[in-house]
Structure 1
Amino acid sequence: MKMTQLLTSKRLIAISISAALTFSATAQETVEKIQVTGSYIKRTAVDASEPVQVLDYNFIQSTGATTISELIGKLAISSGAENQADSFSQAATQGTGNVNLRGLGLSSTLVLINGRRQTISGALTNDGSVFVDTSHIPIDAIEQIEVLKEGAASTYGSDAIAGVVNFILRKDFEGLEFNASISKAADSSQKDTDIGFLWGAEFNNTFITVSGHYLDRTPLTIADRPDLGDVAYSSLGNSFLLLGNAEVTEGAYAGSYGAFENVPDPTCLDDSLGILIPQAYGSRCGFNYGPLYNLVNTETRAQLYSNLSHNFDNGNELFIDVSWSSNEVKDNPQSPSYPDLTFPYIGPSDSGNPFGVGVVWLGRPLGADYEPALSPRENDTFRSSFNLVGDFDNGWDWDTALTYSKNNYTQYQQDQLKSRLVAALAGTGGPNNDELFNPFDRSSLSQSVIDDFTYMTRSEKTTDLLVLDAVIDGELYELPAGTLGLAAGAQVRNEGFKVETDDVFEIKFDADGNPIPVDLIFLQGLSEVDVDRTSLAVFAESVIPVSEDIEIKAALRYEKLENDSSIDPKIAVRWQISDQWIMRASASTAFRDASLSQKNASSAVITSITDYNDDGTAKSSAFVGVIATGNEDLKPEQSENYNIGVIFKPTDNLDFKVDFWRVDYTDLITVENAQGKLIDDPNGADIIRTEAGFLQSVKVNYFNSSSVSVNGFDVESQWTLSDQFNLSINASHFNSYELTKDNGEVVEAAGSFNVDNFARSMPKTKGSLNFNWVGEGQRASLNINYVSSYDTGVDVSALPNESATVDAFTTVDTQYSANFGITENSEAVLTLGVKNLLNELPPRAYIAEGSLSYDPKQHNPLGRVLYAKVKFAF
């Protein structure tokens, strides 16, 4: 959509808001009012004009989830988040968690804690997305989660395009709780052990609450689930491409060879991880690295949360919350060494070459007979918020808050120094520059040479956010239909982004601004960055009772960015048609500014890419560097958001909610898809190859794509069958997800894995059914979770055992709890449960060689999990 059309839509909504202010109606009696996510105006506890899904404490506990990531993974409206270990497609986000509402991208979901903003994670995804790390939040401290399922830029500002997830933490708690649990995959040794506590007390109008949680997680390897990583292999094990005819009369390589023939290491199959891969001429020794990697990493997670609330004698209230978390991924194993993507030339008489002609080495310095290289991660987050609220003499409320949050994400990754490996190939390696590395006979490789060319990179990304909020709200004046409510406020945000790395791993630039390759054989490096920016926003929101049955909410926000600005209006209508029927509708605009990393940072990730010949036929797959450069000229994303829904309440105990929604994106910020770019032009200017034609890396750029148009519907139902039984259903379905690829082609992404574009895998339908029973001192639940099938888009016609469809996936979770009252004021609760009761393993997803054989963004690899939890409360 053109910018003029977008501005016209904003004007129409703004005119509607102005017109709404002239409506009048009859009075309503005063009832208790609350504030819900999506509004600053305190409202009566009725169904509002906006779709908000609430996950309360009892529901969260019934899932048996030990982390927020596990809980979000089953949220119907979230699709394509990164909440599980996957070193192949999300190598830099290990140990973090996030939300992806509507599949519109991690950066398009605004995450709040107690209604306040939180800094983004220092970790960046492979596609450069930024996100708030939900792993910081202790699950035992959550009172409820509110999910606003539509855009909310008029209320909250940038990033609230797809919606808002507000984590509301427990406060004003009195007593002491201890809990401990253990969960274990039924047919492996993987287990989670966690302990936690919650304490609270009142001291003369002051409440203090403290919560702590510690998780110890053991690994699940691909070797434990071989079917989930059986194509995780590389054609680059240890092979040689001969550049001339050769005759070898003796030794392991004895034989006759032609020019440009691929010759594998003769010891390739001596190890269980070596495989022979036929080529057009000859064969290569490949490396089956899959069994070395984890599906679940060894991890420890410590979390502390505390809040203090104090009621002053004049009616004002002070609320302070402080939280800290430290996540450590202890192992994250990788291959013993990565392949040398410089594909070095070895002369006829160099490095023990037995062929007598020059060769190109297609391999990695260390093979399966060496221990995997560990790449641990450290993730530390701190947050504090000071909130002071009160009221004026005229009955209006005021609310001020100062919130600061900071994240440090440290990443370690082992590689080999290019210069020292070249020296070893020339016989001048090792600590004394006198040792040879013979790639034709690696049995003679000494540890001193290995130590000399091996290097552990270290990089640290730091983000921080300081936010000042000030809001007033109250009753403006009486209309015939009731009271006109108004809220207005301002917000100032300052955010920072900093990248520090060691000298070897740092990307430097030449005089022309081109990146200088780092001295590593595989990893591509990072640029050091230290930037910050400030934004200012003012906003107003009003609720206008038009008649006894119709209510309008209107909001308008102006946000001044560092190099741009945005005006975002919203109008929402609620119509009480009858006692049983309610209709609601809303229209708004939203925006998201480019992240500081997208504008300023140059980074590189390693991604599995299938190379192609000039005639369009596929070569082999391999991991290569994908280098993304920041773009200072990125414009903010813009969107138009629409929602129309109906609520049907045939009885007080049963309701149905159906909402049709649509989001039209323009100027979507994304990074070019490396695989799609290579398919479009295998020899383009940004496709980096060696002199021998081997794919080495792909340069990609951040850009504002033209448009994305998404629509679908949500279904939600609650049925209280009796005082003991209740049933709930929640589902989200994509009707369409049209996007524009890098080359301008418009494609349908819904129901696809989206290998060749910037969208993530996107099943059309996700849903859950939850059945709960509550007895005297007992509880039980049954949760059924469903993910529909979707297509990979991969041509598997030459692979008779593979399918181009990822099958639908249904899991059943069940739980039982018994409360054993110890005394009148204390209790002991025992909970037993099974996740994935029917032991369904993830459906197979064949994407390409070098990847997992399932989709970790949609499916869990654990199979059946048994768990037990005890809680003591005093």
Structure 2
Amino acid sequence: MNKGSRFTARASRVAISVSLAWLSLGQAWAQDAAIDAATQDDQTAEEIIVTGSRIARSDQSQLSSPTQVLGQEEIADSGMVGVDDLLQLNTANIGSTGGSQDLAGGGADDRATRSANLRGLGVQSTLVLLNGRRVAHTDSYTNLVALTPTIAVERVETVLDGASALYGSDAIAGVMNIITNDHFSGIRLSAQYTDIAEAPGYIVQGMIGGGNDRFHVVLSASYEYQDKLQGYERNRTNFDNTSGLSQPGNYILTSRPTAAGGGDVIIDNGVNGPINYSQLYDQLTAASGSATVQFADPWCTVPGTGGIYAGANPFPAGSCRFSYQQRNPIKPRTRVTLVHLDGHYDLNDDHSLYFEGRYYQQGTERFGIASFPITTGSLTVPSDNPGNPFGVDTIFQGRLLGNQSPDRIERAELDSIHLVGGVRGPITSGWDYDVMVAYSREKSLLHSSDTDLIAAQNALNGFGGPDCQVNPYGVPAASEVAGQGNCYYFSPFGDDQQSNPSQTDYNILTPFFRSNEAELRYAEAVVTGELLQLPGGTMGIALGGQIREESEKIGLDSGIVNARFGFQGKSLPGEGSRTVKSVFGELYLPILPTLDIQLAGRYESYGEFDTFDPKFGINFRPFPWLALRGSYSTAFRAPDLGEAVSDTVNSAVGQTVDPLDPTDTGTFRVIRTVSNPNLKPEQSKNFNLGMTVEPIDRLQFSVDYFDFAFDDRITLESAQQVINADPNGPRIVRDQFGRLLSVDIGYFNAGATKTNGLDFRASYRFDLGANRITLDNMATVITTYEVQLGPNQPVIDALGGRNANNPGAPAPKFRDNARIAWSNGAHSANIAMRYTDGVRDDLSGGTIDSWTVFDAQYAFSFGPRRNFQLAIGAVNLFDAEPPHAAFTGYLPSLHDVLGRQAYIRVTADF
């Protein structure tokens, strides 16, 4: 890793007091979920809605499902600038995707985005809410980067249990609920600079709140900048990963090379000596019995071209390759603006209007290789092209721009709005209502460029340039002459990389766009009340209904629709929508002062299918120092619009191997994905059993056993499995030379997934004079992780594996977060450890080692009311590199390659 920035040079801020964050997490586990009474006495006296229940309670300790709460102070002390960063503090979250280059696939990497993935059960299986409400998303998951400014977050509640009985689809593995501070008064300002080698960043945030006896508004905003990071700037991603579709490239000849005077073609590249290509062609065709011969670019081995020769001797009877890995992006350059508004207006002493608004805008620049490889077709270099040394037509294989060309920049724009309005109040004594409507929209637009095959062929034929008159089908006007006037030749050969006419740039890279717009509209009404007195208290009930409309629309450039591009492949725009109706109910039964029971159920109809999911939970406190809890529920996930409803055909690129080509070790090819209207929803059965023990004051231990069993998992077919099953089948596209170009795949209900394990929490806080010491630990042990490869396919043990070749997520057996914290008056400090177990690497047959990272922070509060704070710290204090993983260099779903992230933060309250 490049270590150009020193920890002491630009001491960084916002204390990564992951420690304090973990204390909150540890103490907030299930019945430990009560927020620190020392600072929250006024809130615990009120009844509030806690994630995992629709019934307000003043005692959060009576939950039957394992629930973690991360508070506002702990978030600020963690030093992590975004809600997405907080995933690092949750050992139950594994396999998150998005935001980083991942050549093995796994989420958008052209913009700042990150998913939650509880239990590794899939990014679509964790429901993410903002203040208890759904938001629209354009990926297959809710983007945590886009939810709300971190300064506005009061707490994050995570339910680690199936919650479809309360929240419907997508809550199959649990719920992550981001709750904002809607009662803040005053002004709070914060600025943090984070020093990351070669990729520094900063964030400025502000929040203002106030009102009167009937009206209160809280407005928060943030602006974040993060510089780009490229593969060559980190050791783990700075390695050779060669491609056979390169520049310099390779050439397929079907006739004997012939010099201008009719003699043999002899080329001396200054490295390999003079080579008679005509005689070599004769030798190779005689040996193979075929008139088709592939030559590496004659200038492949010349220094400065970037070519790497591989294959048979003598040169050039093999292939020219080059390594694109070093110039691949790790993260794009990103600018993010977030604005959030909370408010309420009391109509009278009982009834209140409330509203919420969110605006999000992001702009990114992704720097990469100058041009994409040509995988969807072929280009012919005619014999009369001045750069063609063979004297006969030849097929070019590779990419048209060399490694010395400027980076190709992809630009992504994202924006979203989220609006909520409602009214709540009492119906009669003990009964309340809450009626709300919401509108949420998420839109993304990608601007990139690719090789238009028709335009590029024009330039190879001598009709390149923006002013050369050629019709859209590649036919030049009768007045035009190849290579004359406004028409120019382009040569793809290695010795012409830097000497082609600039006018042909018009033909080599053509702009295109992709857009995605998702909308969510819904209305919900909930009635809560008290039914009767039980020995343990008053029975509570919640009844409600919801109707929501989901829609998604994909827009595509005409060049993609008409299959003109060499890398993008043919895609089709489309749209889809559906209306979902549901009713739900919950009962809270305090059977005894020490025994509570929760009953809940939800019916949800999608038109083509419906589902009912119940939940039963129990919380038993036989002794003041012991609490027992358990729950059983079923849950489901409906197919996404793109999986089952939309008529979009999406083309992407992935690495595949052609079983008919013994020399193919892996090449990027077009993979076309189509929806499946016959998909059924995923179903699961969830079981949880846990306990909390507090043997002495301020010492707590918690353990929870979890068990998830999935059926009908929605899975995307493996492109490689489709190819292997029928290499010449109707879903395979090959060119005239038999080269594999593309494969069609689809979604299906695969089979079963099962996982179980244990979550542990321990926390101890004590005082030594004026010093307060806190020790806490959080750990997750997975004991079973089994996935089924497909319908009627075997079930495999995926525990402890990378799982690149099966539907599972990376599944380390053990993860642990530990920390020690100290405070004394205006001073506080902490150090924390994050450990992730190693996994088997099924791409290499080896092992991806375990990873241990330490974080630290010191903070000093000052001012007349200690209303100013200066914090310095570092995430990954000792600059630990992520362990090596085959092909990708590291695993972005488990580790990060940023290295030490030193920071300094200043916060002020007025």
Q: Does TM, scored on the shorter chain, surpass 0.5?
A: yes
The aligned counterpart of 1:197 is 206
- Determine the C-alpha separation between the residues in 2 that align with 1:777 and 1:52: 31
Measured after TM superposition, the shift of residue 614 of structure 1 is 4.5
- Specify which of 61, 72, 84 is matched with residue 76 of structure 2: 61
- Determine the C-alpha separation between the residues in 2 that align with 1:290 and 1:455: 23
- Determine the C-alpha separation between the residues in 1 that align with 2:890 and 2:523: 44
Measured after TM superposition, the shift of residue 572 of structure 1 is 0.8
Measured after TM superposition, the shift of residue 815 of structure 1 is 0.6
1:471 lines up with 2:532 in the alignment: no
Q: Is the 8 A contact 1:221 1:294 kept in 2?
A: yes
Measured after TM superposition, the shift of residue 559 of structure 1 is 0.8
The aligned counterpart of 2:854 is 812
The aligned counterpart of 1:399 is 434
The aligned counterpart of 1:801 is none
1:370 lines up with 2:405 in the alignment: yes
Measured after TM superposition, the shift of residue 358 of structure 1 is 5.7
**C-alpha deviations, 1:291-315, integer Å up to 9, x for none?**
2222222110111111112334332
Measured after TM superposition, the shift of residue 396 of structure 1 is 1.2
Measured at CA, do residues 167 and 250 of structure 1 come closer, stay the same or move farther in structure 2, by a change above 3 Å? closer
Q: Is the 8 A contact 2:568 2:653 kept in 1?
A: no
Measured after TM superposition, the shift of residue 774 of structure 1 is 2.5
Residue type of the alignment partner of 2:676: N
The aligned counterpart of 2:668 is 623
Query: Secondary structure of the equivalent of 2:491?
Result: coil
Residue type of the alignment partner of 2:298: P
Query: Secondary structure of the equivalent of 2:86?
Result: helix
Measured after TM superposition, the shift of residue 360 of structure 1 is 3.5
Measured after TM superposition, the shift of residue 530 of structure 1 is 2.9
**C-alpha deviations, 1:57-106, integer Å up to 9, x for none?**
12212221112222224421111112432163344662222211111111
**C-alpha deviations, 1:613-656, integer Å up to 9, x for none?**
349x6722222111100111111111111111122221231222
- Determine the C-alpha separation between the residues in 2 that align with 1:423 and 1:860: 44
- Determine the C-alpha separation between the residues in 1 that align with 2:629 and 2:773: 29
Q: What aligned pairs does 1:665-704 form with structure 2 within 5 A after superposition?
A: 665-679=710-724, 681-704=726-749
- Determine the C-alpha separation between the residues in 2 that align with 1:675 and 1:721: 57
**C-alpha deviations, 1:562-618, integer Å up to 9, x for none?**
311111111111122322222211111111111111122434454441414349x67
- Specify which of 638, 657, 669 is matched with residue 683 of structure 2: 638
Measured at CA, do residues 250 and 37 of structure 1 come closer, stay the same or move farther in structure 2, by a change above 3 Å? closer
- Specify which of 244, 253, 271 is matched with residue 235 of structure 1: 244
- Determine the C-alpha separation between the residues in 2 that align with 1:83 and 1:411: 16
1:268 lines up with 2:308 in the alignment: no
Measured after TM superposition, the shift of residue 204 of structure 1 is 3.1
The aligned counterpart of 1:50 is 65
Measured after TM superposition, the shift of residue 872 of structure 1 is 1.5
- Determine the C-alpha separation between the residues in 2 that align with 1:735 and 1:350: 67
- Determine the C-alpha separation between the residues in 2 that align with 1:610 and 1:461: 27
Q: Is the 8 A contact 1:838 1:864 kept in 2?
A: yes
Query: Secondary structure of the equivalent of 2:713?
Result: strand
Query: Secondary structure of the equivalent of 2:627?
Result: strand
The aligned counterpart of 1:495 is 550
- Determine the C-alpha separation between the residues in 2 that align with 1:834 and 1:558: 47
1:154 lines up with 2:168 in the alignment: no
Measured after TM superposition, the shift of residue 233 of structure 1 is 3.2
- Specify which of 366, 369, 374 is matched with residue 335 of structure 1: 369
1:307 lines up with 2:342 in the alignment: yes
- Specify which of 613, 618, 621 is matched with residue 659 of structure 2: 613
**C-alpha deviations, 1:484-542, integer Å up to 9, x for none?**
21111111111111112222123xxxxxxxxxx61100012542223221111111100
Q: Is the 8 A contact 2:237 2:326 kept in 1?
A: no
The aligned counterpart of 1:12 is none
- Determine the C-alpha separation between the residues in 1 that align with 2:110 and 2:636: 25
Q: Is the 8 A contact 1:136 1:381 kept in 2?
A: no
Measured after TM superposition, the shift of residue 680 of structure 1 is 5.0
Q: What aligned pairs does 1:341-420 form with structure 2 within 5 A after superposition?
A: 341-344=375-378, 346=380, 349=383, 351=385, 352-355=387-390, 359-420=394-455
Measured at CA, do residues 297 and 345 of structure 1 come closer, stay the same or move farther in structure 2, by a change above 3 Å? closer
Deviates more, 1:31-40 or 1:262-271: 262-271
- Specify which of 88, 96, 99 is matched with residue 81 of structure 1: 96
Measured at CA, do residues 714 and 382 of structure 1 come closer, stay the same or move farther in structure 2, by a change above 3 Å? same
The aligned counterpart of 1:142 is 153
Query: Secondary structure of the equivalent of 1:274?
Result: coil
- Determine the C-alpha separation between the residues in 1 that align with 2:656 and 2:243: 11
Measured after TM superposition, the shift of residue 724 of structure 1 is 1.7
Residue type of the alignment partner of 1:421: A
**C-alpha deviations, 1:222-272, integer Å up to 9, x for none?**
121143241443121111234466553245483324245542223334455
Residue ranges of structure 1 left out of the alignment (5+ in a row): 1-29, 507-516, 797-803
The aligned counterpart of 1:9 is none
Q: Is the 8 A contact 2:379 2:457 kept in 1?
A: no
**C-alpha deviations, 1:380-417, integer Å up to 9, x for none?**
11111113221122221211221211111111221011
- Determine the C-alpha separation between the residues in 2 that align with 1:548 and 1:308: 37
The aligned counterpart of 2:874 is 834
The aligned counterpart of 2:903 is 867
- Determine the C-alpha separation between the residues in 2 that align with 1:181 and 1:301: 14
- Determine the C-alpha separation between the residues in 2 that align with 1:610 and 1:701: 16
**C-alpha deviations, 1:782-840, integer Å up to 9, x for none?**
221111100111246xxxxxxx111111100001111111x34x722100001111110
- Determine the C-alpha separation between the residues in 1 that align with 2:402 and 2:102: 19
Measured after TM superposition, the shift of residue 683 of structure 1 is 4.4
- Specify which of 796, 814, 837 is matched with residue 765 of structure 1: 814
Residue ranges of structure 2 left out of the alignment (5+ in a row): 1-43, 258-263, 286-291, 471-481, 483-487
Query: Secondary structure of the equivalent of 2:592?
Result: coil
Q: Is the 8 A contact 1:399 1:471 kept in 2?
A: yes
- Root-mean-square deviation (CA, aligned residues, Å) is 2.4
Query: Secondary structure of the equivalent of 2:867?
Result: strand
**C-alpha deviations, 1:668-716, integer Å up to 9, x for none?**
1121122344455544443333232323122111111122122222112
- Determine the C-alpha separation between the residues in 2 that align with 1:71 and 1:452: 46
- Specify which of 75, 80, 87 is matched with residue 72 of structure 1: 87
1:216 lines up with 2:219 in the alignment: no
The aligned counterpart of 1:524 is 569
The aligned counterpart of 1:856 is 892
Measured after TM superposition, the shift of residue 180 of structure 1 is 0.8
Residue type of the alignment partner of 2:507: D
Measured at CA, do residues 396 and 273 of structure 1 come closer, stay the same or move farther in structure 2, by a change above 3 Å? farther
Q: Is the 8 A contact 2:376 2:742 kept in 1?
A: no
The aligned counterpart of 1:113 is 130
Query: Secondary structure of the equivalent of 1:107?
Result: helix
The aligned counterpart of 1:41 is 55
- Determine the C-alpha separation between the residues in 1 that align with 2:226 and 2:123: 25
Deviates more, 1:148-157 or 1:724-733: 724-733
The aligned counterpart of 1:436 is 489
1:731 lines up with 2:779 in the alignment: yes
Deviates more, 1:85-94 or 1:205-214: 85-94
The aligned counterpart of 1:449 is 504
Q: What aligned pairs does 1:9-48 form with structure 2 within 5 A after superposition?
A: 33-43=47-57, 44-48=59-63
Residue type of the alignment partner of 2:200: K
The aligned counterpart of 1:181 is 192
The aligned counterpart of 2:41 is none
- Determine the C-alpha separation between the residues in 2 that align with 1:601 and 1:275: 42
- Determine the C-alpha separation between the residues in 2 that align with 1:152 and 1:469: 17
Residue type of the alignment partner of 1:753: R
- Determine the C-alpha separation between the residues in 2 that align with 1:688 and 1:620: 19
Residue type of the alignment partner of 1:837: L
Measured at CA, do residues 364 and 33 of structure 1 come closer, stay the same or move farther in structure 2, by a change above 3 Å? same
- Determine the C-alpha separation between the residues in 1 that align with 2:747 and 2:563: 22
Residue type of the alignment partner of 1:108: S
Query: Secondary structure of the equivalent of 2:465?
Result: coil
The aligned counterpart of 1:10 is none
TM-score by length of structure 1 reads 0.89
- Determine the C-alpha separation between the residues in 2 that align with 1:530 and 1:635: 20
TM-score by length of structure 2 reads 0.85
Measured at CA, do residues 542 and 465 of structure 1 come closer, stay the same or move farther in structure 2, by a change above 3 Å? same
**C-alpha deviations, 1:15-35, integer Å up to 9, x for none?**
xxxxxxxxxxxxxxx985432
Q: Is the 8 A contact 1:273 1:287 kept in 2?
A: no
Residue type of the alignment partner of 2:861: N
